């Protein structure tokens, strides 16, 4: 294939974003970071394409280059009929490539040259002026970069932890009891995966109709247990973590849930990460928090936050996590009734209250990750009710300025007492509702939880 025909085919393959949609479809079956990268790329592509085709092309109405000046061998079979400035192909290519590179910099080695080739091809085949392509590429890349305001890029490295600690080294899982939620995540056989990973470990398949503590206690009592493990989502991990800490046992986390927030923060991205740490005895000490005696490792929430998370989970398959979170927050703010609370004795009316086990970033409505897992603090954030606060909160979320809005409050504490002014409020911990209360004590526990984590993840 010669250069002219190759660039012609490449240019045509990117019509209506088909090239990038195909790459995204392949990336959707890869690792979570890669899926996150292609979703960001598609989001930036969609916005840039709309900006070019709906707003800018009709505004500028620039004519295409004179076709006769392009050699026939270079020309497309079907010529575009829309205005020339800016190039939609270049905008989409740059938006997708930049969005992917923000999440997965290594992929830029492949995606970047491909996007540049698509952009150049539009000049080569004679359908755009060079300035069209440069403007389109700048626009697409700028939109992708700006997406970080609403959809923060998660750091590649796990949370920093001050203290490495000694934990029992358990080759092949000898002395390890693992509680497995068979229905966790999208894995069809988490029990089999964990059993193959550590064949000497004792597996407890959790029964949702039975008490987790009783199921684990009966197994631990009849075995020489030196550590316990949790294979499931964040709710399962938090429950097993409470059991482990109360008995002074280290915890191994196996990420078989859907989101695996705690595993990701602690640096366990794969089942093999957990295996390596268990067999080598590498571990760290992390904080644990409780809400009225219920252990949570990530977050607890009151008010509209539980409803917002549920709606976000329903929408994120179509829109990606952060755009789905923005839509869900707007829906909740539009329909949710505020809650009157006393926060450490101060009367406050809030739309939603967020309590994190450690200080979360970014500050604002969409806290996503923690720089540390052992800072000794509770992160307290809420949206306060006031004049036009629904409108203000929604506008701040859409503009990405929630941390600076007058309706947003954020502070840190080691404990928080929440009392309902009247009635009761529902609490969700680590994504699962735990009950309704008229009073709740949030606090950090004295003494850490020991969690297996391979030391080499700290330098990745």
- Report the C-alpha gap between 362 and 374 in whole angstroms: 18
Q: Are 332 and 411 members of one domain?
A: yes
In a domain, 155, yes or no: no
Cβ(136)–Cβ(94) under 8 Å?
Answer: yes
Placement of tokens 């493990």 in the chain: 229
Residue spans of the chain under pLDDT 50: 459-460
Q: Are 284 and 310 members of one domain?
A: no
Counted domains in the chain: 3
| Residue 104 belongs to domain with CATH number | 1.20.144.10
Q: Are 137 and 39 members of one domain?
A: yes
Q: Are 181 and 239 members of one domain?
A: yes
| Residue 385 belongs to domain with CATH number | 2.60.200.40
> How high is the pLDDT of residue 399?
61
Which one of 85, 116, 149 terminates a domain?
149
- Report the C-alpha gap between 98 and 369 in whole angstroms: 22
Placement of tokens 């009950």 in the chain: 435
Q: Are 375 and 400 members of one domain?
A: yes
* Pairing verdict, β 202-205 and 227-232: unpaired
Domain limits at 123?
Answer: 3-149
């Amino acid at each position: 294939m010669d250069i002219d025909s190759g660039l012609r085919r490449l240019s045509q393959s990117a019509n209506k974003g088909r090239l990038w949609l195909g790459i995204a479809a392949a990336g959707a079956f890869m690792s979570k970071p890669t899926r996150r990268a292609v979703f960001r790329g598609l989001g930036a592509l969609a916005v840039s394409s709309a900006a070019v085709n709906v707003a800018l092309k009709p505004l500028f109405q620039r004519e295409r280059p004179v076709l006769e000046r392009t050699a026939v061998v270079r020309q497309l079979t079907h010529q575009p009929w829309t205005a020339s400035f800016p190039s939609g192909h270049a905008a989409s290519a740059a938006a997708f490539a930049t969005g992917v590179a923000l999440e997965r910099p290594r992929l830029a080695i492949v995606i970047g040259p491909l996007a540049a080739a698509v952009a150049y091809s539009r000049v080569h085949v004679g359908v755009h002026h060079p300035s069209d392509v440069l403007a389109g590429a700048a626009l697409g890349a700028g939109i992708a970069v700006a997406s970080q305001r609403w959809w923060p890029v998660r750091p590649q490295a796990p949370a920093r932890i001050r203290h490495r600690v000694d934990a029992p080294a358990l080759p092949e899982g000898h002395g390890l009891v693992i509680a497995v939620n068979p229905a966790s995540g999208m894995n069809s056989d988490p029990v089999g995966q964990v059993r193959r990973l550590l064949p000497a470990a004792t597996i407890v398949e959790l029964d949702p109709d039975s008490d987790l503590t009783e199921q684990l206690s009966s197994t631990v009592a009849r075995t020489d247990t030196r550590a316990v493990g949790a294979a499931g989502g964040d709710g399962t991990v938090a429950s097993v973590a409470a059991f482990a800490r109360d008995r002074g046992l280290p915890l191994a986390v196996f990420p078989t849930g859907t989101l695996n927030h705690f595993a990701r923060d602690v640096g366990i991205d794969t089942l093999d990460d957990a295996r390596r740490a268990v067999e080598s005895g590498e571990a760290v000490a992390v904080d644990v928090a409780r809400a009225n005696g219920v252990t949570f490792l990530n977050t607890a929430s009151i008010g509209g936050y539980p409803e917002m998370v549920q709606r976000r989970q329903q929408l994120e398959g179509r829109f990606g996590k952060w755009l789905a979170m923005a839509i869900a927050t707007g829906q909740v703010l539009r329909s949710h009734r505020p809650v009157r609370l006393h926060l450490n004795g101060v009367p406050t009316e809030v739309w939603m209250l967020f309590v994190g086990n450690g200080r979360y970033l970014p500050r604002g409505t969409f806290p996503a990750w923690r720089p540390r897992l052992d800072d000794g603090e509770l992160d307290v954030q809420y949206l306060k009710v006031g004049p036009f606060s629904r409108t203000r909160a929604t506008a701040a979320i859409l503009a990405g300025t929630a941390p600076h809005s007058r309706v947003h409050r954020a502070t840190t504490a080691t404990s928080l007492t929440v009392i309902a002014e009247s009635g009761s409020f529902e609490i969700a911990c680590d994504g699962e509702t735990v009950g309704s209360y008229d009073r709740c004590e949030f606090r950090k526990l004295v003494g850490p939880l020991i969690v297996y984590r391979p030391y080499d993840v700290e330098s990745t």
